[in-house]
Amino acid sequence: MRTTILYPVGVEVADLDASRLDDDQASELALLLAENGVAVLRDQPLDDEQFDAFLRRFGDPVFTVGETPVDGHPDLNVVSNIGRTRPPRSRFHVDTSYVRHPPAYTALRSVKVPAQGGHTLFTNQYRAYDLLPGPLRRRLEGRVVRHVVTGVDPGEAQEHEADHPLFRAHPLTGRVALYLTLPDRCGSVSGLDAAQSTSVINDLYARSTRPDNLYRHAWAPADLVIWDNGCVMHRADHDGVVGDRVMHRGMVTGYASVAH
């Protein structure tokens, strides 16, 4: 497969048919994701059965209670602006980090692309860590963040909170990323009081989401985008969208969180 590096995070992959992904190609793509965070695959006219099979090459499916499932494919969910009187809200986050083993990978396939807007943005959490000032990095070394659920009811069958290292070594590469999600879902930082935790998380979140640390993906028909939740955050930009925006999303398990 041919690749083109996207700045400051991501890689575009060519000469790959996602509908016929084999184990060797899945392993190669997983390593590309571990290094680059996001993989963009253009011209992939998959149906949902093929999309589900593609995802299962990387792990077992994960579904968030409360999402709208795709008809006939209960492990996938619909992301849509159709029928909404207000645009959806989206802030930078990682998916389902309030469980002990969050989904390693999330993917979207474009079903309907709006005439304008509707981009998805990604942060480079390796770079966010690398650019931390030395004194701040030393102060926060070894600390753990308690991630908590907000905005959805996971139900009794799912976890509501989990602890993850703030500086997280990727299991496949050993590279260290700043592992964050929405500040509202970062309940506390070990060894810090509530006010200190809030201040630290807000500062790190702002550093992570600086404009020079973002890749903005403009969707095209038949796009397939997959990312590694261990080294990127993401959000959808719903401002100024003209037309219908429909995506089908899937998440799968993978590696476990490893402290640095």
Q: How high is the mean pLDDT in each 10-residue block of the chain (260 residues)?
A: 97 97 94 97 98 96 91 97 87 95 96 98 98 98 95 68 96 96 97 98 98 98 98 96 97 65
The pair of structure tokens assigned to 131 is: 């650019």
Positive or negative torsion for Cα 146, 164, 123, 211: positive
* Strands laid side by side in the 214-217 sheet: 214-217, 120-123, 234-236
Query: In the prediction, which pLDDT does 259 show?
Result: 44
Q: What is the pLDDT of residue 258?
A: 43
Classified as helix, coil or strand, 118 is: coil
CB atoms near residue 77 (< 10 Å): 19
pTM, 2 dp = 0.95
Question: Residue 39: left (phi > 0), alpha (psi -120 to 50), or beta?
Answer: beta
Q: Give every CB contact of residue 256 below 8 A, 6+ residues apart in sequence.
A: 101, 171
- The architecture that CATH gives domain 1-260 is 4-Layer Sandwich (3.60)
Q: Are 123 and 92 in contact (CB under 8 A)?
A: yes
- Per-domain residue ranges of the chain: 1-260
Predicted local confidence at residue 154, as pLDDT: 61
Question: According to the model, what pLDDT value does residue 257 have?
Answer: 43
Output the six-digit token pair for 219.
């969707």
Burial of 237: CB neighbours in 10 Å, binned 0-12, 13-18, 19+: middle
Give the separation between CA 195 and CA 175, rounded to whole angstroms.
30
